[in-house]
Structure 1
């Protein structure tokens, strides 16, 4: 079956690296001959398989074929910002944060580190037959290059922002890092996803039928995919859950045949998003075909090669349907063979059928995971991503403060470091920890003051629990099960708390029972801090249930009124997959009203308020019932009300305050912009994020991050979230005044621009043009500047307000001047007509080169920059 039944070793010990020797008859098969071409080897292997074997090999849990020496292989692997869900690994800033670096070379460096760690994980626990398990393979389902068209989308944090050019260049760089540059094989295989026209809402993603205009499809939704295929040479593409023009994405010949295979000449394989193949025929989804056999047939014929079945939502597609489709004539065997050819070419290029230790990357060992050198790259990227939104002179601190109050829900939160799709950091550095490290002589007082979307919470203390009603024994009865279903024989013991240290790479579940005593009367809020499912019952009544699907972390809690001194029966249940750290029962007391945070602020010299969001409230399909959020998406762009209220109370103390935002999408912090002297956007900055924030506040480096998305003043400025038209969205098509524009970011130094030049005042259609400009650091310290080039086509019907077509992050010493040069090719000079045809037409092209867009508002000056222009002559129609 394609549904995934993962059974991880309870000991968490690495499997033997040595693989079983192949029988001579197998070792001598042509597909094992490294002197033959990859295509010949794959074709030889595919022709030897039976139909039943073939049907099983096009599922993500491909079983071994012992008679042919084919090892098992699980294709499912996540690497959005580091090796995810495979235990300890280096965790980099979330994708949106890395995009804020506007640093393509650094992004490639990150990709190279991540691919090394994938290789290390792969060899660490190879199956004895040479195969790889869940999250231990070399096929990486990243990057996510969907356009972040609307800030309400919970998964926008996974993208590189709202602009096709920035997304393309950052995506290409990451792909090159992941796949390597050796012509004799791939380090890993990257996957551009989700193809195509996908960006929320999460609640309807399995039923959504999107009908973009021909203009929007060509102008916004497809360019990054085209670029990563043609320029980035990505070897895998993932098709979407939703339908496009009435056809499920994983059955769309328009997308996978006309564009991907024909127009772009894509040579790799297409994998379905997990459960998307089943969406083709499921009655409660797109129901494009009546039967599963018809569904898999249209999918493979359209260009899908590999089915990921989603065990979490019971959306798997069984090999029996594929066999039946072939036998009935619905699916030609030649089509199935073509899919297998692509899949085995990929595995051969990864070295999976070559002698152990051979090939260009065969010498990478398990020890090359999670190293100090890799942590240093994570810190480098975290610092590069820091974006200074506002600064009235408070930053950098003028000397080390004596007393610092660190307030807010994200100040000591690991969740706020890692975003979603993450690995497990060995030594995560929260903002609180970073400040303590950077200011060791300061008196630092930490008070959470508020939670993300409710009152501040804390682990329930051991003293609150009793095993029995008479409280003759402290603690709780704990039962631990070797599965995620609380089934079978249990290991029972008495534990001090409803807490668990998940130290091994395994599946497990636990139940705690006993009694809890309330220390005060009033409304309590309970949840179990877990990355998978949980349930809490008090007085034999359900308080909160988030058993869920076991993959989307949640902050869902439940309320119950308790009386001081009264003892109540309690039952807590939870399950976990993999290495996830410590899980524990959390509560909010009735007295948690923020007074302690205000008192701490009043006694401090400076306040660092660390707020924002986390992947517990924005993300992929989750259960959450609080104002401003819905199913992983957002309904409001405002800072959540509890945080806003506390921030205003802290500000009223009169103490200088820095607002540090940690989030994966835009926040409408209008009040803070008008009242708080300094605002830092830190994103989800990865395992070293606390160091990056603290060193920024101290002035150890000058910030140079730039916004990859527009920060609007309100969601009311935007069209409906479910409307996929680009009119009125992103900096390219929005005509109103925003809070902070795309490309915005301040520095501790000052830059100026001069002497703009173009290579020709008249440029013939199809010819490139070069634009250069002198950039000078006029400030008192060294710093980085992100030089941005925008084009405008005045008078051109339907053209964007302006479009980014070049950027370079440059380091300049104080007083240094450098000439920065851009070359604009024919696609950068083209526009798209209403029929979706990309053309170069005669007319003027206006150029702006600067440290941001040429826009200003009250309280926010225009970024420095210069203008120039040239004339396009002649016409040319460009290919898809």
Structure 2
């Protein structure tokens, strides 16, 4: 059944009243007029207060004009986030590791389809909330210049060309192909020159050289606007050349609108306008009125959070003209009209997308294929992988083997029935016995979920986990609608139903069973609730140990009322099974739900269990790395190796390193599976492990993709989108934005694993490199062709990488990626590839930031990695010079 779009729900009553008075439809309601005419008419009818009200992310309804409420803030980095179940793809850095631009388009198309489906369903229920709109604040196309940045996981890596190509494809997939309406509107971010540190992002001033600005920091944004036609941009927190990015006329007016002809709207990052005047941030303006005026005059059209409500007073004080307000409001309503929100559903094909497409079988299959293609094989001594047939016992150890966060990443969709890595191994290797041990914490002092191995439904059961009873109201009265065994308490139910039988906004869950510690002594526990800052007044949870209450959270009348997330310590005298009960009551419409029971165990006890499992096994699979609870956006964490969301070291944390060495000492073959959002200096593993597989934060199908890769059903073909350095000693200071000695383009040292690196279970050979000409004039294009053959015995994917070595100047990159194609080849199959290098691809940026095609001698390389002495290459020359537009 078709249903009305958002505006028509509100407009219906308004329209009826218009016709009741026998008046003509107002111009802004007349689809026969141009969109610009309709927008101009609508804005002309709005009061100053009404216009200003539309310039914050949570824009209220204006009933007298038939304008419904709309929230501009929705997330779709690797799946529609924070609005119930949706297809969850690998984290963006994992998507980038596929080196498959067309696939990024498919992902964008899937995400926008689910966004429309969720929007249509929300409007059907009169929901106009945050995270249910059609303006998607993705992709993050900042350049991942330093592996310490916690948000680098959200990006497509360190290379401007790779980032630009993937970003364009993703943006196009999001915005759709309809000639009249956007499917959704993409919002590339954070414009510009933004990549940490998180601790200073609100106050930092970055002064890039003109070369670095135009050579590294702006090309992907330019591509997203001029090629991808993104209709929105998010400006960054930091200042650029002493002007906050969201009040930076050079960025927002001269470059974005004048040079790149951007016609869409600009949104601020959340709280970025406040940073203009806050004493702890840029502190360049005295108050919200002057800060807001500066943002609008520079070209920031809407603020995330309510700061722009100060614009009414700013106009009255003469700080900004009402005409400037009109310009921003018109841009915002152009977007809403172009989304079809004020037109008949009969005209807007996307209004017919049903909710049933969300996480459909086709979308699930795409998530699996993306996860498969994201796998990067870093080491494989003596063909350790695929694991040989007939393995009887597999030890699965490590903190990432059974942690939900490790498959999710950040800014994630909510996965339905998520499968954790250890369970993926169990499902794939059906003929083997799988022994699981948590092995180590992520780092000393960092909590992680209480493992299934110490939980049982009762004192005599051999089953792992606790009995979960699910109630359809936020009380434990009556009978549960579902009873099951949950292997651990580690759930993400953000605006989602824990089970189909109960509502998302009000439910209760009670887990009961036993817990047995590995050793007697004191243990620290905690309960984590997603985004519980603060908890809703009706959000309650409690823990009982041997029937005695030990922790909880409830309204003020309740007995247990610690502030924030509860932490509690238990002194347990033995290793016997003790009764445990955890109760969780949730009541909050459209608010986050979920719960994780965590502990901070003794490292020695966990390591002992991992060694015991390894001693009994034929092979050890160690799931180690990082966690989005350690690396991410401005996080309140400060432990060894991590600070505020960023990293202070790139080594594998000591606790995990010690576990690896301990299990390796058993003499059993060791396969390391890395799960992380940024590069790790795994030097010891590179020297001692038999194989290393990089799996990133791999999404809802990641566990299966990992298992299929380990057993050979999936032949890994992913490539690193970032450099894996050997140590921090190889890098400049984190807060130094100069690109000298950063990324593969300027790094002069020897990395642990290079950008573009990745192994396969088969082999490939390149031949017959041909150029369309050996001499071309500046401004002409060059065609490069080559043949690729699978010379091995397995079918597999190869990524053909084209690198250009330009004439060297004092600021030239050592080499740069200028083309790539991912191909699937059967054993013995050959394929012909062709690359077209246009003038911009052949150009360089000089010290002054001028981009031009320059005369000189060039070398082009085509192969499966960065150039080596064995890579096929050809020389050509360019005559003349041609300067290119900014």
Shorter-chain TM-score tier? 0.7 to 0.9
User: 2:877 aligns to what?
Assistant: 871
Q: 1:42 to 1:853 in 2, by over 3 A?
A: same
In 1, distance between residues paired with 2:571 and 2:293?
A: 58
Structure 2 unaligned blocks of 5 or more: 20-24, 459-466, 498-502, 536-541, 554-563
Q: 1:140 to 1:679 in 2, by over 3 A?
A: same
CA contact (8 A) 2:724 2:753 kept: yes
CA contact (8 A) 1:17 1:128 kept: no
User: 2:762 aligns to what?
Assistant: 749
In 1, distance between residues paired with 2:455 and 2:621?
A: 31
What's the offset of the Cα at 1:592? 2.5
State yes or no: 1:261 paired with 2:257: yes
State yes or no: 1:699 paired with 2:696: no
What's the offset of the Cα at 1:325? 1.3
Alignment match of 2:360 (pick from 349, 371, 385): 371
Superposition pairs for residues 345-744 of structure 1, below 5 Å? Answer: 345-356=334-345, 358-392=347-381, 393-454=383-444, 458=450, 503=497, 504-506=503-505, 521-533=520-532, 562=571, 564=573, 582-590=594-602, 592-744=605-757
CA contact (8 A) 2:139 2:171 kept: yes
User: 1:292 aligns to what?
Assistant: 288
In 2, distance between residues paired with 1:588 and 1:649?
A: 20
Q: 1:48 to 1:251 in 2, by over 3 A?
A: same
In 2, distance between residues paired with 1:347 and 1:301?
A: 22
In 1, distance between residues paired with 2:301 and 2:387?
A: 56
Superposition pairs for residues 182-197 of structure 1, below 5 Å? Answer: 182-197=178-193
DSSP 3-state at the match of 2:706:
helix
What's the offset of the Cα at 1:290? 1.3
User: 1:472 aligns to what?
Assistant: none
User: 2:115 aligns to what?
Assistant: 118
CA contact (8 A) 2:526 2:568 kept: no
Q: 1:703 to 1:137 in 2, by over 3 A?
A: same
In 2, distance between residues paired with 1:447 and 1:499?
A: 17
State yes or no: 1:145 paired with 2:141: yes
Q: 1:571 to 1:447 in 2, by over 3 A?
A: closer
Q: 1:93 to 1:231 in 2, by over 3 A?
A: same
What's the offset of the Cα at 1:398? 2.1
Aligned residues: 826
Q: 1:778 to 1:317 in 2, by over 3 A?
A: same
Cα-to-partner distance string for 1:416-452 (whole Å, 9 max, x where unaligned): 1110001211121222122122111211111111122
CA contact (8 A) 2:8 2:341 kept: no
CA contact (8 A) 1:840 1:877 kept: yes
User: 2:328 aligns to what?
Assistant: 339
CA contact (8 A) 1:787 1:808 kept: yes
User: 1:249 aligns to what?
Assistant: 245
Cα-to-partner distance string for 1:656-693 (whole Å, 9 max, x where unaligned): 12111110000100000001111000011100001101
Cα-to-partner distance string for 1:517-566 (whole Å, 9 max, x where unaligned): 99965342322243234899999999999xxxxxxxxx999785836279
DSSP 3-state at the match of 1:806:
strand
In 2, distance between residues paired with 1:600 and 1:822?
A: 50
DSSP 3-state at the match of 1:691:
helix
In 1, distance between residues paired with 2:91 and 2:531?
A: 20
Cα-to-partner distance string for 1:703-743 (whole Å, 9 max, x where unaligned): 11000000000112100001111111100010000000000
Superposition pairs for residues 105-254 of structure 1, below 5 Å? Answer: 105-126=102-123, 132-254=128-250
State yes or no: 1:31 paired with 2:43: no
In 1, distance between residues paired with 2:392 and 2:574?
A: 41
What's the TM-score, normalizing by structure 2? 0.87
CA contact (8 A) 1:17 1:127 kept: no
User: 1:11 aligns to what?
Assistant: none
Cα-to-partner distance string for 1:271-303 (whole Å, 9 max, x where unaligned): 000111111122221112112111111111111
User: 2:57 aligns to what?
Assistant: 60
Cα-to-partner distance string for 1:302-353 (whole Å, 9 max, x where unaligned): 11111111xxxxxx4151x111111222111111111111111111111111
User: 1:552 aligns to what?
Assistant: none
In 1, distance between residues paired with 2:422 and 2:872?
A: 41
In 2, distance between residues paired with 1:812 and 1:428?
A: 32
In 2, distance between residues paired with 1:518 and 1:563?
A: 8
In 2, distance between residues paired with 1:866 and 1:605?
A: 41
Cα-to-partner distance string for 1:785-807 (whole Å, 9 max, x where unaligned): 10111111243221001011111
Q: 1:492 to 1:631 in 2, by over 3 A?
A: farther
Alignment match of 1:842 (pick from 855, 860, 878): 855
In 2, distance between residues paired with 1:667 and 1:178?
A: 32
Cα-to-partner distance string for 1:820-861 (whole Å, 9 max, x where unaligned): 111111111111111111122211111111101025xxxxxx
User: 1:767 aligns to what?
Assistant: 780
In 1, distance between residues paired with 2:429 and 2:635?
A: 38
DSSP 3-state at the match of 2:257:
helix
What's the offset of the Cα at 1:388? 0.4
Alignment match of 1:71 (pick from 68, 72, 87): 68
Cα-to-partner distance string for 1:97-124 (whole Å, 9 max, x where unaligned): 0000000111101111111100111011
CA contact (8 A) 2:226 2:260 kept: yes
DSSP 3-state at the match of 1:593:
helix
In 1, distance between residues paired with 2:5 and 2:44?
A: 32
User: 1:88 aligns to what?
Assistant: 85
What's the TM-score, normalizing by structure 1? 0.87
CA contact (8 A) 1:432 1:690 kept: yes
Q: 1:613 to 1:45 in 2, by over 3 A?
A: same
State yes or no: 1:814 paired with 2:810: no
What's the offset of the Cα at 1:166? 0.3
Q: 1:572 to 1:834 in 2, by over 3 A?
A: farther
Cα-to-partner distance string for 1:2-30 (whole Å, 9 max, x where unaligned): xxxxxxxxxxxx99999352333558222
In 2, distance between residues paired with 1:700 and 1:878?
A: 47
CA RMSD of aligned residues (A): 3.7
Q: 1:274 to 1:494 in 2, by over 3 A?
A: farther
DSSP 3-state at the match of 1:136:
coil
What's the offset of the Cα at 1:360? 2.6
What's the offset of the Cα at 1:176? 0.8
Cα-to-partner distance string for 1:201-230 (whole Å, 9 max, x where unaligned): 011111111111111101100000000000
User: 1:800 aligns to what?
Assistant: 813
CA contact (8 A) 2:403 2:449 kept: no
In 1, distance between residues paired with 2:636 and 2:457?
A: 28
DSSP 3-state at the match of 1:168:
helix
